[in-house]
Structure 1
């Protein structure tokens, strides 16, 4: 892997542990329907899959079902009403971002969250210093399409081939490969229904600071050569 000129991150499950608030929105809906709350452990793996994944996990309802769209709107409205009650950055993420800043590397966020939610959540998580923030509706396509990743590279003025993209979902790795970016699976995140070992990512890492160690080593090697 080439030394990165920029590092781009997924948001949910990569930089931020947002699953508690996403799961809470599902369980508010379940209580309204006289259903018991679903166990958090059941819902957490689907947090990076958005409304589609969480409604599927909480209600066994698929996007093709007639009731799905109404449930999706209800879920998103409920989530928006309590978007950061429990969400926070993963423990090592502040140290990772501080270390990247010390290397004078630009970093940004690419998420499938709609701007409605990204713009509300990012300031509450103290991620305003991101050099670019690409939401699921910033471009005509969301991940796994490469368009959001190309847009991030364009905004940074850096060729996509010189960017690393870090995410905790198969779609993140697929998008990175389609955009020609180096792909890094964030195994500390939610990871969905499949194991990162099956994603064919360029790297699988188990902690944010592991990523920082690799980036520092790459930059040290480049500066000394």
Structure 2
């Protein structure tokens, strides 16, 4: 039997579907400006994006303790929400990959650790709301990835069995969550990661070098026809 695209393809958002680093870095630098500190380059923050807002603030403000940085999360999110899509774009080849899923009669959705409200606002700005079958954010449930619950919740909302899904993400937490949920995983090698991270150690079911290679990875990871 030949492989086919899974009935439901779930994606991480930041670093997988979208390059959100420009707008997240801008929000961090607005926080720094509020504190009277100089801006930091986007290149310093980019590898940390998939680790979340706390990791971004820790990179920009290493001299502050965790409690002081946590107090800056609300203004950081407020700055980000106010200008969420000025520089954010789908990765090259991603629109074609999503169109391939649509043409195959499959559906796609999003499971992200980004707060659900911000994720929905961003997806709407990109113009994907009507196409996205399901969206689960980092605060939709009491737990986030690498816990498998958000992936399982997305599958339930979409009426799909976990084994009929594939999850695509650019972080080790994505692969761990997919494995625990019983879903094949595809590691997105174009995403955000630190220079010392080796994605081979994540032991994903498939790896895709860029979104142009995603079709083959999805076909290989999907359930047999």
What is the TM-score with the length of structure 1 in the denominator? 0.90
Whether 2:80 is the aligned partner of 1:116: answer no
Select the residue among 15, 23, 26 that pairs with 2:25: 23
Q: Which runs of 5+ in 1 are unaligned?
A: none
Name which of structure 1's ranges 24-33 and 178-187 shifts more when overlaid on structure 2.
24-33
1:124-170 CA-partner distances (Å, limit 9, x unpaired):
11221111111111122111111110011111211112211000111
Q: Which runs of 5+ in 2 are unaligned?
A: none
SS in 1 for 2:121: helix
Select the residue among 187, 190, 193 that pairs with 1:191: 193
For 2:172, the equivalent position in structure 1 comes to 170
What is the deviation of 1:183? Answer: 1.2
For 1:105, the equivalent position in structure 2 comes to 106
SS in 2 for 1:7: strand
Query: 8 Å contact 1:170–1:191 — kept in the other structure?
Result: no
Distance 1:95 1:177, change over 3 A: same
1:49-76 CA-partner distances (Å, limit 9, x unpaired):
22111111111268x7221221111111
SS in 2 for 1:143: coil
What is the deviation of 1:120? Answer: 1.0
What is the deviation of 1:17? Answer: 0.6
For 1:209, the equivalent position in structure 2 comes to 212
Distance 1:91 1:105, change over 3 A: same
Please give the alpha-carbon distance, in whole angstroms, between the structure 1 residues aligned to 2:52 and 2:98: 24
Query: 8 Å contact 1:21–1:82 — kept in the other structure?
Result: yes
**CA RMSD for the aligned pairs?**
2.2
What is the deviation of 1:191? Answer: 2.5
Query: 8 Å contact 1:173–1:201 — kept in the other structure?
Result: yes
What is the TM-score with the length of structure 2 in the denominator? 0.90
For 2:145, the equivalent position in structure 1 comes to 143
Please give the alpha-carbon distance, in whole angstroms, between the structure 2 residues aligned to 1:218 and 1:133: 21
Please give the alpha-carbon distance, in whole angstroms, between the structure 2 residues aligned to 1:174 and 1:217: 19
Please give the alpha-carbon distance, in whole angstroms, between the structure 2 residues aligned to 1:215 and 1:73: 37
1:64-111 CA-partner distances (Å, limit 9, x unpaired):
722122111111111111111111111111000001101011111101
Q: Following TM superposition, where does structure 1 have runs of at least 4 consecutive aligned residues deviating by more than 2 angstroms?
A: 2-5, 31-36, 213-219
Distance 1:72 1:120, change over 3 A: same
